[in-house]
Amino acid sequence: MAKEPKKLIANNKKVYHDYFLLEKYEAAIVLKSLKDFLSRDFTPVFRLIEQSSKVFLYGTGTLQRAVAQEMRRVFLAGDEYFYVVEGVDETAALTGALTQDDLLFVFSLKGQSDNATTLARNLKARNVPFIAVTSYLDNDIAHLADESILVGTESLPIGSGHSYEVLDAYFLLVSILFLKYSEYKRSHR
């Protein structure tokens, strides 16, 4: 629920706009994503992690690689060792080495990039389990994946006809996955 702006800033149009932009960011994006992730049952994802001999993380772009790096860092705190695949050349080499005992997380915004789609098809053909993490549910990678995690994103107007796509939910997902996985491990000992 948005708060009423203080009267002091109500007369300044730019500050007033910025206030509501931040309110929308907090209420519509961060809290919505948090509630969504907390209400989801990630048990199938956790089972795949638990059953895997090695877990690999691949991001299709700059942001997605940063999310993969963050997931590796966060899960390390729980004694889970994940490997980040740094680029397209590595995915080509890795695909032949992966087995049915491994798991790959594929982070993509839209799930439509040619490299990621080719990777997903190759993994599927070799029966290598993978999890798609995308902001669109209806995409090639999500359809091919063993599990798919949808991450809601939202665009905010920032003026002059421009908008900003807020992608913080990807990082929030990593934290929620880690906390829920830690709880899952404690309850399944």
Question: pTM here?
Answer: 0.83
List, for residues 86-123, the tens digit of each pLDDT value.
Answer: 877 788 888 889 999 999 999 998 777 788 899 999 99
Sequence-separated contacts (24+) of 28-31 with Cβ below 8 Å: 28/154, 29/152, 29/153, 29/154, 29/156, 29/166, 29/168, 29/169, 30/168, 30/169, 30/172
pLDDT band at residue 23, thresholds of 50, 70 and 90?
A: low
Query: Phi/psi at 37 (nearest 5 deg)?
Result: -65, -40
Strands 154-159, 162-166: pairing kind: antiparallel
Q: Comparing 29-38, 121-130, 177-186, which segment has the lowest mean pLDDT?
A: 29-38
List, for residues 124-178, the tens digit of each pLDDT value.
Answer: 999 999 999 998 768 889 999 999 999 988 777 777 888 887 788 899 999 999 9
- Reply yes or no on whether the pLDDT at 15 is more than 50: no
Most confident region among 36-40, 47-51, 87-91, 135-139 by mean pLDDT: 47-51
Question: What per-residue confidence (pLDDT) applies to 9?
Answer: 45
Determine the straight-line distance between the first and last CA of the chain, rounded to whole angstroms. Answer: 40
**CB atoms < 10 A from the CB of 86, how many?**
13
3 DSSP assignment: P
Encoding tokens for residue 27? 């209420």
Contact 128, 100 (CB under 8 A): yes
- Amino acid occupying residue 96: G
Among 186, 189, 154, CA closest to 30: 154
Question: What per-residue confidence (pLDDT) applies to 18?
Answer: 54
